[in-house]
Amino acid sequence: MSEHWKNIVGILILIGGFFTSISFVIKSNTNFALIAMAIALIIWMSFTIIFDTFDVKIFSWIISITGFLISISILFLYGIEQVPYPIGAIVFHAEGFASSLAISIVSFFPILFIRQFSKSSRSQSQTPIKSKKQTENSELFSDEWDIATEDEFKSGDFETN
């Protein structure tokens, strides 16, 4: 199977899981929505590991996005409630908001870890370690040295390394 088709199948697995979980959220069945998301993620991870297309950065983004979707679902299912009287009134529940915010904060962790990891790897690659040979070469081609003239060369009054 070519690399292109492996990526398309992986994306289709994630999209299928997303729409399945959204359909459960619309039916106000959070437990089945979480189960559908978890199964889709497990199938996607297994597929990408088996076909050697697993990428940690993509996985971190998917985990974060999934967490945000769960957070939004919990907010609308348990944090906001429309009541019949007065007409159009909305009641906010602190437990639903607190749960939603907690899940949102935890959902930022994979993105933060990846960003921190990429920053540290970038800073290490930008500051190369000078080897002994590089140091010696920089000393040889320094501006402090003068080119020896023919007379100085014959006199023997100069230093060599």
The pLDDT, as a whole number, for residue 127 is: 55
Global pTM? Answer: 0.67
Least confident of 21-30, 95-104, 131-140: 131-140
pLDDT in tens, 71-127: 999 999 999 998 888 888 899 999 999 999 999 999 999 999 998 888 777 777 665
149 falls in which pLDDT band (50, 70, 90)? confident
pLDDT, mean of residues 4-32? 92
135 falls in which pLDDT band (50, 70, 90)? low
* pLDDT mean across residues, the chain: 84
The CA-based diameter of the chain, rounded to the nearest angstrom, is 108
Half-sphere exposure of 160 (CA within 13 A, CB side): 4
pLDDT above 70 (res 56): yes
**Burial class, 144, CB count within 10 angstroms (exposed 0-12 / middle 13-18 / buried 19+):** exposed
